[in-house]
Amino acid sequence: MRKAAFLFLGVVIVLYCLFPFLWTVITAVKPPEEVFSLPIRYLPRSLSVENFVDVFYKRPFSRYVINSLIVATGGTILTLALASLAAFKLRYMPVQRALMLQRWLLVGAIVPPTLLVIPVFVVIRALGLINNPLGLILSYSFLNLPFGIWMLYAAFSRIPRELDEAAMIDGLWWGGILLRVILPLARAALAVSAALIFIFCWNEFLIALTLMPDQLHYTVPVGISMLSGASIYEIPWGQINAAVTITTVPVILIVALLQRWIVEGLTAGAVKG
Amino acid sequence: MGGRVIALKDVTLEIPHGKFVTVLGPSGCGKSTLLRVVAGLERPSSGQIYIGDRVVNELAPGKRNVAMVFQNYALYPHMKVYENIAISLRLRGLSAPEIRGKVAEVAGMLGIERLLDRYPRQLSGGQQQRVALARALVREPEVFLLDEPLSNLDAQIREQTRSELKRLFKDLGATVIYVTHDQAEAMSMSDIVVVMEAGEVRQVGTADTIYRDPRHRFVAEFVGMQRINILEGDLKDGSFVSMDESVVISLPTSQQGRVSLGIRPEAIHMGKGMGVDLIAEVTHIEPLGPNKTIFVKIGTNELKVLVGADFEAQIGDTLNITFSPKDIYLFDAQSGRRIYVG
């Protein structure tokens, strides 16, 4: 009885959380004329791929997806590369000093990105990187570095120092120690950080809109916000929902792919072993 | 920030080629630091390190041609045993068949052929220790550095490994610097023992010399199955007089001043007539299997006496004890240095 109640509560909570997403998917697969039918149809009478086809054929949506993939992948890789170097250096500092630096990094992570839009824009413009994916990649790694360093330092500092020393005696230089010893041992933390940073870059809207005003360079969230109908009074809800549905696919894929590591990374150190 | 700690003070030490040298001392005496300086993991603030006739101060650890076995083995957890052993050879650019041959040879020597395909976490402590050793051996270094390699093993395996290690390094004719706080290890394995205290070398010599002829009070106290008896007192007018004046021993010396007198428990015998005769009261008895330790009191001075297991005594008994003046060590109370008499 108690178990059944627990299960029921679980299902309700899951449905409540998933409802907006389910509604998005349902709207996306409805034939366009059914979207506003009254009374509301919770399940479509027939499934239609028309909205998906329209998004890709009537709009440059594939272009947006490619832009987003470039920016998110680049941002993630650059962030993790810089964060590994920083966390590796912190590992060799006296703990007190490393922790103090970390606390300052946390301050950087707390500042809302919205506040930084204008300074970031000024810097990127000065670098001549407006409408250049590199500008967005640089901005994203700048915003995510504190988080990345934090995650990786926590993981690195659990690795015994003797391993570095054994590696030094075996003839590895510091880059080799980082690549062949430390990073493989911190792979859980790397996976978690990669997933979270990728999702941040993938979903980010405001900076992408600011730094990439040219339609050719829209990322997915910006592209979706710019979808419009034949007139400004017509909003193509079906297409928008189809686009949103497509957008979530890589995020789900990444989480599914890295799930094992993410769980390990989030619980690391919780239990001795 | 905290003050600077001097871990090593003016250490001058020559390790002869092909010898098994043990650095012995309590934790914090600087013995591990000494090893790490030789390995290149720690930079000395002054002085020179030679390996062969090369000054290696400026060389990275990987270029010194040394191999080190760490106390916790420091095996790479994400690499199989084979990779753990092979990595240094790979980095030196050896060909794959050469690497396979060398790894197989070393694995055969240590009996770990069947473990090559496992990860370190799948091995017992003793097996991990062998892998760590294999990783050192495979490099054929000029010097082996071993940092308490046996201290994480069970007592039984430890003793067995002790004799195996000794034989192995003897057969290889290797130069070994072995750090330990366990004097039994030091005495049983090494050609030369270096006793360290507080960052300074107190004595260098064979196990036998260190035991029979300690040059410093610390050496006398640290080495020996049973801790040496120390009586504090003064030298005056050709005699040692204990602080409470209950022990007076005449010695052929004209020196004066505060001293510590050392006499080993195994040098004291029951009865009379060995040169120094004393009367003592039994306070405590500790059976040790083949032996017994009898704790006795003379005035306020406590002494331990090692006797055979068949010796019978009761707490409160009064005993005659005797020892030869030749077995007495005198140490300067201030510096701890040995004072020779006679």
Taking contacts as CB-CB distances below 8 angstroms, the residues of chain B near A160 are: 72, 74
Do residues B202 and B195 lie in contact, with contact meaning Cβ atoms separated by under 8 Å? Answer: yes
Start-to-end Cα distance in chain A: 37
Instruction: Tell me the two tokens of residue A173.
Output: 């230089």
pLDDT along chain A (273 residues), means of 10: 89 92 88 78 81 86 93 96 95 90 84 88 94 95 92 91 92 92 91 91 93 91 83 80 88 84 62 41
The ipTM, to two decimals, is 0.81
Secondary element (H or E) of residue B247: none
Exposure b/e, A51-78, CB count within 10 A at least 16 = b: bbebbbeebbbebbbebbbbbbebbbeb
Do residues B195 and B218 lie in contact, with contact meaning Cβ atoms separated by under 8 Å? Answer: yes
Q: pLDDT exceeding 90 applies to what percent of chain B?
A: 47
pLDDT tens digit string along A190-222? 988 999 999 999 999 999 999 999 989 999 999
Between positions 113 and 142 of B, the ones with CB within 8 A of A are 135
Between positions 22 and 51 of B, the ones with CB within 8 A of A are 39-41
Instruction: Tell me the two tokens of residue B146.
Output: 């071993």
pLDDT reported for residue A273: 37
Taking contacts as CB-CB distances below 8 angstroms, the residues of chain B near A94 are: 1
Contact at CB, B63 and A171, closer than 8 angstroms? yes
Say if strands B175-180 and B20-24 run parallel, antiparallel, or are unpaired: parallel
Contact at CB, A165 and B41, closer than 8 angstroms? yes
pLDDT reported for residue A272: 39
CA–CA min distance A181, chain B (Å): 7
Taking contacts as CB-CB distances below 8 angstroms, the residues of chain A near B61 are: 165, 168-169
Contact at CB, A171 and B92, closer than 8 angstroms? yes
Task: Give the side-chain half-sphere CA count within 13 A for B2.
Answer: 6
Taking contacts as CB-CB distances below 8 angstroms, the residues of chain A near B68 are: 165-166, 169
Q: What are phi and psi for residue B93, nearest 5 degrees? A: 80, 25
- Asked if the C-beta of A171 comes within 8 angstroms of chain B's C-beta atoms, the answer is yes
C-alpha to C-alpha distance for A21 and A16, rounded to whole angstroms: 10
CA angle B190, B195, B197 (to 5 degrees): 155
pLDDT reported for residue B6: 67
- Asked if the C-beta of A272 comes within 8 angstroms of chain B's C-beta atoms, the answer is no
Taking contacts as CB-CB distances below 8 angstroms, the residues of chain A near B40 are: 168-169
Residue from A196, A193, A220, A199 nearest A208 by CA: A220
C-alpha to C-alpha distance for B102 and B85, rounded to whole angstroms: 9
C-alpha to C-alpha distance for B327 and B281, rounded to whole angstroms: 22
Residue of B66, B72, B77 lying closest to A169 (CB–CB): B66
Sorting pLDDT into bands at 50, 70 and 90, what band is B1? very low
Does B325 sit behind a cis peptide bond, omega within 30 degrees of 0 on the bond before it? no
- Asked if the C-beta of B70 comes within 8 angstroms of chain A's C-beta atoms, the answer is yes
Beta bridge partners of B249: B240
Residue of B72, B78, B88 lying closest to A170 (CB–CB): B88
Taking contacts as CB-CB distances below 8 angstroms, the residues of chain B near A176 are: 91
Q: What are phi and psi for residue A249, nearest 5 degrees? A: -60, -50
Residue of A160, A168, A180 lying closest to B60 (CB–CB): A168
Residue of B68, B76, B77 lying closest to A169 (CB–CB): B68
Taking contacts as CB-CB distances below 8 angstroms, the residues of chain A near B87 are: 170, 180
Instruction: Tell me the two tokens of residue B301.
Output: 């001075």
Residue carrying structure tokens 């309590």: B26
Residue type, A20: P
CA–CA min distance A196, chain B (Å): 24
Exposure b/e, B94-119, CB count within 10 A at least 16 = b: eeeeebeebbeebbebbebeebbeeb
pLDDT tens digit string along B159-190? 888 888 888 888 888 899 999 998 888 888 89
Those residues whose C-beta lies under 8 Å from the C-beta of residue B149, and which sit 6 or more positions away, are B69, B70, B71, B73, B129, B132, B133, B165, B178
**C-alpha separations of B143 from A113, B175, B231 in Å:** 56, 5, 42
Sorting pLDDT into bands at 50, 70 and 90, what band is B245? confident
**This prediction's pTM:** 0.81
C-alpha to C-alpha distance for A41 and A18, rounded to whole angstroms: 18
**C-alpha separations of B147 from A69, B35, B129 in Å:** 50, 8, 12
Residue carrying structure tokens 């969230």: A221
Instruction: Tell me the two tokens of residue B318.
Output: 């009064």
Contact at CB, A169 and B76, closer than 8 angstroms? no
Other Cβ atoms less than 10 A from the Cβ of A146: the count is: 21
- B175 CB-contact burial (10 Å; exposed 0-12 / middle 13-18 / buried 19+): buried
Task: Give the side-chain half-sphere CA count within 13 A for A12.
Answer: 6
Start-to-end Cα distance in chain B: 52
Please determine, for residue B132, whether its predicted confidence score (pLDDT) is greater than 60: yes
Taking contacts as CB-CB distances below 8 angstroms, the residues of chain A near B70 are: 162, 165-166
Contact at CB, A160 and B39, closer than 8 angstroms? no
Calculate the average pLDDT of chain B: 89
Contact at CB, B70 and A172, closer than 8 angstroms? no
Residue of A nearest to B91 (CA): A171
Residue carrying structure tokens 């294999």: B134
Those residues whose C-beta lies under 8 Å from the C-beta of residue B265, and which sit 6 or more positions away, are B226, B227, B228, B229, B293, B303, B304, B305, B306
pLDDT tens digit string along B32-44? 888 999 999 988 8
pLDDT tens digit string along B94-118? 999 999 999 999 999 888 999 999 9
- Asked if the C-beta of A181 comes within 8 angstroms of chain B's C-beta atoms, the answer is yes
